[in-house]
Amino acid sequence: MAGVSDIAFRTLCREAGADMAFTEMVSAKGLSFANEKTRHLLALAGGESQVAVQLFGHEPEVMASQAAWIEDEMGESLAYLDINMGCPARKIVSKGDGSALMKEPDLAASVVRAVKGVVEHPVTVKFRRGWAEGDETAPAFARRMEEAGADGVTVHGRFAEQLYRGSADWGVIARVREAVSVPVVGNGDIRSGADAMRMAVETGCDAVMIARGAEGNPWLFSQVQAALAGEPEPAPPTVEERIAMARRHAELLTHREGRNIVRMRKHAMWYMAGLPGAAQARGRINYCTTLSDFDAVFDELLEIARERS
Ligand SMILES: Cc1cc2nc3c(=O)[nH]c(=O)nc-3n(C[C@H](O)[C@H](O)[C@H](O)COP(=O)(O)O)c2cc1C
C-alpha cells in the first residue's frame, strides 16, 4: 500500500504472521531517473526477506531495465517482482499506468514479456475485476498475462471505475482461478480470519492478500493464519496491547530518514479507532511531530482506558 507499507508496517505485519509483504508501489520511471525518494521505497529492514517489489509503469523497456536493476540491488531479499495493473488513482491512470493497462491488454502483455525477459525472479501481475463497471475482463486478461509469461496473478474484485466503493466480488477470483494455471492470489475486503477462510474455500485461490484490514491491526495476520490452519482465532488485542503496538510502530518509524514520524499520525488513528478518548485524541495527533508527542497521547489514552475499566 502506497504511503503505508514501509519498513515499519511490513516489520509488524511479518511479526504478526504475514508470510510475505510488498513494498509500496515504485515508479519505474522514477527509478530510471535515480530519484532518491523513489529508491528509498526499496529500503529494507535489516534481515528482511520475502519482500515483493511492486513496480508501476507502462513502457516495456523502462519496466524491464528497472526490474533488472531491482533484482541486482536486492538479491536474496527479493521474493518476486509484481507489476501494478490495478491502481485506479487518477494521477496514475492518466499517465497510462496502473489499471489503465487493463484497457490495453497488448501493451500490458508486452510489459510482462519485457520484464520476464530480463529477470530470474518470478514476475506476477496485480489487477482488478475490469476497467469499466459491469465489464468483467479479468479472466481473459489473466489468460493474456499468463501467456505473456506471468508466474502468478493477484485479483482485487472491484472494477477500476469503482475505486474502493461497494464491496469486492469474490466470484471473479474463482473465475480467474478457472481461467489460468498459474497461482492466483485473492484480494479484497478480508477483515477477519473467517473472511480469509471463506475466500479460500469459495474461490480456490492459492493465497490471500490483505491491505486495509491490516491498518492499525497487524493481529489480523495471526487471526488469518489460525483460521486457515483450522485453529481457534486468537483473542483480539487488549487496549494495552494496541497502545504498545502503536508505540512500537512509532519507534520503528523514527529509524527511517526524513520526517517519517509524521506518517505515524494516520497509523495512530487506526490503532486508536474505537478506544475511549480516541475522538478527543484525534485533534492532538494531527500536531504530533516527535516520538514523545505520540507517547504523551498514548499515555493519556491508556489512562482513560484504565479509568473506564
Ligand atoms: C492507501 C492505499 C494504498 C494502496 N496502494 C497500493 C499499491 O501501491 N499497490 C497495489 O497494488 N494496491 C494498492 N492498494 C490496493 C490494495 O492493495 C488492495 O488491492 C485493495 O485495498 C483491496 O484490498 P483490501 O480490501 O484488503 O484493502 C492500496 C490501497 C490503499 C487503501
Domain ranges of the chain: 7-228, 239-308
Annotation-wise, does 266 bind a ligand?
Answer: no
Helices (H), 94-192: 105-118, 138-148, 171-179
Measured CA to CA in angstroms, residue 46 lies from 8, 112, 143, 229 at distances of 11, 30, 38, 29
E strands present in the chain: 21-22, 26-27, 51-56, 78-85, 123-130, 152-159, 184-187, 207-209
Atom of ligand 1 nearest to the CA of 209: 26
Residue nearest to atom 30 of ligand 1 (CA): 1
Report pTM.
0.96
Going from the first residue of the chain to its last (309 residues), give the mean pLDDT of each consecutive group of 10, the final group possibly shorter: 95 97 96 88 89 98 97 93 98 98 98 98 98 98 98 98 98 98 98 98 98 98 97 94 97 78 95 93 93 96 90
Measured CA to CA in angstroms, residue 12 lies from 117, 220, 224, 290 at distances of 34, 11, 15, 20
Tell me, what's the pLDDT at 138?
98
Tell me, what's the pLDDT at 266?
96
Measured CA to CA in angstroms, residue 179 lies from 74, 133, 168, 171, 229 at distances of 32, 21, 19, 12, 27
Cα(103)–Cα(176) distance, integer angstroms = 17
Atom of ligand 1 nearest to the CA of 212: 27
Tell me, what's the pLDDT at 259?
64
Tell me, what's the pLDDT at 309?
79
Tell me, what's the pLDDT at 191?
98
Q: Which CATH architecture has domain 7-228?
A: Alpha-Beta Barrel (3.20)
Query: Beta-carbon neighbour count of residue 49 at 10 Å?
Result: 13
The packing angle between helices 264-272 and 278-285, to 10°, is 180
Q: Which three cell numbers stand for residue 227?
A: 483460521
Residue nearest to atom 3 of ligand 1 (CA): 1
Measured CA to CA in angstroms, residue 70 lies from 3, 56, 93, 118 at distances of 20, 13, 23, 11
Annotation-wise, does 121 bind a ligand?
Answer: no
What residues are in contact with ligand 1 under a 6 Å CB criterion? 1-4, 24-25, 54, 84, 86-87, 126, 156, 187-190, 210-213
Q: Which CATH class is domain 239-308?
A: mainly alpha
Residues belonging to the active site: 87
Tell me, what's the pLDDT at 63?
98
